[in-house]
Amino acid sequence: MAGLRNRIMKRTYVMPLVVLTVICLVASVALALMNNVTSSVITDASNRRAKQAMSEKIPDATGFDPIDLELYETMPSTIKEIYKTTNDIGYIFIAAAGGFNGDITVICGIDPNGRIISTSTLSHTETVGIGTIIEQESFLSTFTGLDNALEGIDTVTGATISTRAYIRIINDIQAAFVIISGS
């Protein structure tokens, strides 16, 4: 009787645990292999999107050289990357700061005189319909041609936190421009 009970216990509890463990191990290995295969593809696609975004901000640029942020101790923490055009017609800044629902990542092209050529939102998690004003041309175009004074830029009612975060990012980009250009 005890032997029968042990076999029933083994079938009822042990075997399902063994099967589930094997399934989990196989799934984990499959996911790890898939990650190895796709990570380079994802990185390449991300790099292509970044280069395309940089070329859209400064269309006449012949190329972009990265600037080492570690050379500048007073660089705002929001600044993630800076590139100088190889033909000295401007700079690209990529910066991020917290908005209402998470980080807002911005790309901005600035000419050698510190005027904004173009800016756009690379990514955000702001509220659809309210916070997404930060990706609309009607908001973004207000920055074009401005220098570090950012005169005439106001927050948008209903999207105050999102637009305030965007303006703060642009202010930090302008501060970073002053740091790297020595102006």
CA distances from 147 to 27, 30, 105, 128, 166 (A): 53, 52, 20, 30, 15
Q: Using alpha carbons, select from 52, 44, 40 the residue that is nearest to residue 122.
A: 52
User: What does the domain layout of the chain look like in residue ranges?
Assistant: 1-57, 60-181
Distance of CA 15 to the CA centre of its chain: 46
**162 residue type, one letter:** S
pLDDT in tens, 152-171: 665 555 457 778 888 889 99
93 pLDDT higher than 90: yes
Q: Using alpha carbons, select from 141, 123, 129, 134 the residue that is nearest to residue 163.
A: 134
pLDDT at residue number 9 = 62
66 pLDDT higher than 60: yes
Please state the pTM of the whole predicted model: 0.71
pLDDT at residue number 15 = 77
